[in-house]
Amino acid sequence: MTRREMLIHGLGLGSGLLFSPRSSASMLLEDASSSLKALAARSHLKLGVQASKANLQVPEFAKFVTQNFSLLTPGNELKWPRLRPTPDSYTFDDADWMLNFCQSHDMLLHGHNLCWNNPTANPPWFPSVLTKQNAEQQLTDYITTVVGRYRGKIESWDVVNEPVVFWSKRPDGLYPGVWINLLGPQYLDIAFHAARAADPSALLVLNCYYIEQDQPNFERTRELTIALLQQLLKRGVPVQAIGIESHLDASAPFGGPAFLEFIRKVRALGLQVLITELDADDTNVQGSDQQRDRVVAQCYYDYLTQVVPAGNTNRVIFWTPSDRWDWLNSMQPAKFHRADGRPHRPGLLDDSFRPKQAMAAVEAALRTLSGSRPRPGEWDNRS
């Protein structure tokens, strides 16, 4: 039985995975020299977090973010529905607020996202306005306006989000939806070229999901994604990086050799490998809150210490910093909910913003990546 399987089954309870209330995870909120971002900087790693304007208006949480992260991904403030609520208007108030927050706290801003086929990610006026005749102009104008407004201020953009899905009936696996329906695969070219023209200095990312784990659907997504990247680069599309979302199933193994080979292929194409939406889903992890927290923490440690070196990754963005704002709790269908009806526990902090074992595991992973050892008693991955 592997260590992960032991944890999932609630064994190894004396393994030293617990940490005391005065462990480093607590002190990270007080000691800037050992903050997560300071530890990450030792490995030339930018550490980011996803948060909304509303989240950041909670003072305790805002303090945690600014002390521990050097990069911020807005939740919805840079998406189509928020920025362009009607065909004839743009609203930048919330996006500007996020940028000002970052500038005030010496943080970088990662733009998420410019183009996504998921219907929930687009404004309700799309069906009545967009046509095959005007779709290219609408997409280009939007990207030119938004990226141009923040030229030199937003360091990187998820230009196209989730381009490939294993459930697509298309041979190329491209996500079905408004842009593929109206423009075909060329919508990716249009989006990336428009973003490059609007801000030549920004890092342009193809943000991908369902890549990380050892299951047939994940392998299909990996194969389709490599084929897409090869085609885009052959066509001269200015893709510079792939974002691996990394919404991990804490109860299942990572992709192992196949996943690492995927990363090798991406790097061989000359692209950066980023971790853009990291969290750990404990839907299928059994046991007490403490036992589940151990599994989630181990998941974070294992993933970071394996993937960051393999990808020569220079940025990691956490998607669910606190259990208070776990996105899976509001997801449908019910397959995303725990059978016992209890909330998920993926966060580095609990719902009262207290550091959890996941926080200590991330610190330990950052120390391991920098070549130093985790402090005794805080996290013992060898036990």
Please state whether 137 falls in left (phi above 0), alpha (psi between -120 and 50) or beta.
alpha
Q: Let me know the angle formed at the C-alpha of 303 by 301 and 304, rounded to the nearest 5 degrees.
A: 70
Q: Let me know the angle formed at the C-alpha of 263 by 275 and 7, rounded to the nearest 5 degrees.
A: 65
Place of tokens 């060329």: 186
Which residue in 238, 230, 227, 119 sits closest to 176, CA to CA?
119
The pLDDT score that the predictor gives to residue 104 is 98
CA 318/CA 43 separation, integer angstroms? 17
The pLDDT score that the predictor gives to residue 13 is 30
Tell me: cis bond preceding 85? Omega within 30 of 0 counts.
no
The pLDDT score that the predictor gives to residue 101 is 98
Place of tokens 């990450």: 40
The pLDDT score that the predictor gives to residue 332 is 55
CA 252/CA 175 separation, integer angstroms? 25
Q: What is the CATH number of domain 3-369?
A: 3.20.20.80
CA 343/CA 56 separation, integer angstroms? 22
pLDDT tens digits for the chain (383 residues)? 443 443 334 323 333 344 333 344 444 455 555 799 999 999 999 999 999 999 999 999 999 999 999 999 999 999 999 999 999 999 999 999 999 999 999 999 999 999 999 999 999 999 999 999 999 999 999 999 999 999 999 999 999 999 999 999 999 999 999 999 999 999 999 999 999 999 999 999 999 999 999 999 999 999 999 999 999 999 999 999 999 999 999 999 888 999 999 999 999 999 999 999 999 999 999 999 999 999 999 999 999 999 999 999 999 999 999 999 988 776 655 666 788 888 889 999 999 999 999 999 999 999 999 997 665 545 554 33
* b/e sequence 320-350, b meaning 16+ C-beta within 10 Å: bbbbbbbbbeeeeeeeebbeeeeebbbbbbb
C-beta of residue 136 within 8 angstroms of C-beta of residue 144: no
DSSP 233-275: HHTT----EEEE--EEETTS-B-HHHHHHHHHHHHHTT-EEEE
Cα of 175 vs its chain's centroid, Å: 19
- Backbone φ, ψ for residue 66 (5° rounding): -70, -30
Place of tokens 């909120």: 29
Q: What is the pTM of this model?
A: 0.91
Any residues with CB less than 8 A from the CB of 371 and at least 6 apart, and which? none
The pLDDT score that the predictor gives to residue 11 is 29
287 DSSP 8-state letter: S
C-beta of residue 118 within 8 angstroms of C-beta of residue 168: no
Which residue in 66, 152, 67 sits closest to 102, CA to CA?
66
The pLDDT score that the predictor gives to residue 233 is 98
Give whole-number Cα distances, 122 to 85, 116, 153, in Å: 9, 8, 24
The pLDDT score that the predictor gives to residue 8 is 38
119 DSSP 8-state letter: G
The pLDDT score that the predictor gives to residue 87 is 97
C-beta of residue 355 within 8 angstroms of C-beta of residue 28: yes
C-beta of residue 266 within 8 angstroms of C-beta of residue 246: no
CA 261/CA 316 separation, integer angstroms? 20
Task: Return the domain boundaries, the chain.
Answer: 3-369
Tell me: cis bond preceding 381? Omega within 30 of 0 counts.
no
